[in-house]
Amino acid sequence: MAVKLKIKKGDNVKVIAGDDKGKTGKVLAVYPKTLKVVVEGCKIAKKAIKPSDKNPNGGFINKEMPMDISNVAKIQE
């Protein structure tokens, strides 16, 4: 059964709980099955990447990770 969410991709939200509390950002992705969202500039993690054609040296990149949808609130524009 599908869950109706009030937050959609492209909405501006404010983080109301967690390490990034108080930050605002745009929603980049919504995952309704796990009730998670990815917010621009919040919950940044350092990810190791293998060498490839695109990145021949490999190394680390900063990536936004999903956070629970209950930790964000939609901002009125």
At residue 61, the 3 state secondary structure works out as: strand
Q: How confident is the model at residue 76 (pLDDT cuts 50, 70, 90)?
A: confident
The answer, yes or no, to whether residue 73 has pLDDT greater than 80, is: yes
11-74: in CATH 3.40.50.300: no
Residues 40-60: tens digit of each pLDDT: 999 999 999 999 998 899 999
> What does the alpha-carbon distance between residue 30 and residue 8 come to, in Å, rounded to a whole number?
7
Of residues 12, 32, 34, the one with CA closest to residue 23: 12
Counting Cβ atoms within 10 Å, is residue 15 exposed (0-12), middle (13-18) or buried (19+)? buried
